[in-house]
Chains A and B, each alone.
Chain A
Amino acid sequence: ANKRQKTSKGSNSNPIEFFKSQYGTMQKKPDNQSVEEANADNTSENVRIWVQYNEGFSNAVRKNVTWSSLWQ
């Protein structure tokens, strides 16, 4: 990272043009890329099935049972 900073300070005009061109190429890409990425996200998120593991297990305190709790 240091080396890059030094070279950019050393010559002013070249880096700016370089970054401008980089920016230009970046601007062209996003349309296609973002759409593809969004699709990829959808597929991976929609069909994700997993077990969220519990470190331990707990049994709650027993409580009384009412008639309505059986017929929920």
Chain B
Amino acid sequence: MPAVTISVSKLQNLFQEGDGTTIATPLGNTLLEIQGDLQFPSEPPSNDEDERFSEYEEENVVRFGVLSFDSEYKKATLYVGEKQRLLGSVVKLETPLGLLKFDHETNRVELEDVINYKVIFKERPLPIM
């Protein structure tokens, strides 16, 4: 039976900073949960008027929406595309979620981050305004 150890070297910075109650972790990750499927074109279109498509580290990136967040009430609003607005909330996870990266080339497992909060959108999308 094969075995591998999980490397936690990246997380030293995290524990130095301590965990805030922000939606993003100190390492810059956020968990976004939507009750539904996010639909967007897989290929960047020829006429991208809104400049929603760009490239980041040789990957195609879609700017699919804007997330705004009210830290006082733990409420969040997600604008998707041009027509949808979703109301959601910031929830503390019952069991923190470890983000593991299984690297095929080096055959190593790295603990990338520990996620304590998620932003969840359960409600039906509303029209914008």
Contact = CB atoms under 8 A, between A and B. Distances in A.
Interface residues of A, number: 17
B40 A49 contact: yes
A47 B83 CA distance: 12
A56 B86 CA distance: 15
Interface residues of B, number: 31
Contacts, number: 68
B39 interface: yes
Contacts of B65: 49
A50 B1 CA distance: 45
Contact of B80 (A42, A46, A49, A57): A49
B102 A71 contact: yes
Nearest to B104: A71
Interface of B is mostly: loop
Nearest to B43: A46
**Which of A53, A54, A70 has the most B CB atoms < 10 Å from its CB?**
A53
B15 to A, nearest CB: 25
Contacts of B124: 53
Contact of B52 (A42, A47, A67): A47
Interface in A35-72: 42-43, 46-54, 56-57, 67, 70-72
Interface of B: 1-2, 34-41, 45-50, 52, 62, 64-65, 80-84, 86, 102, 104, 122, 124-125
7 contacts: A42-B45, A43-B49, A46-B45, A47-B81, A49-B41, A52-B36, A52-B38
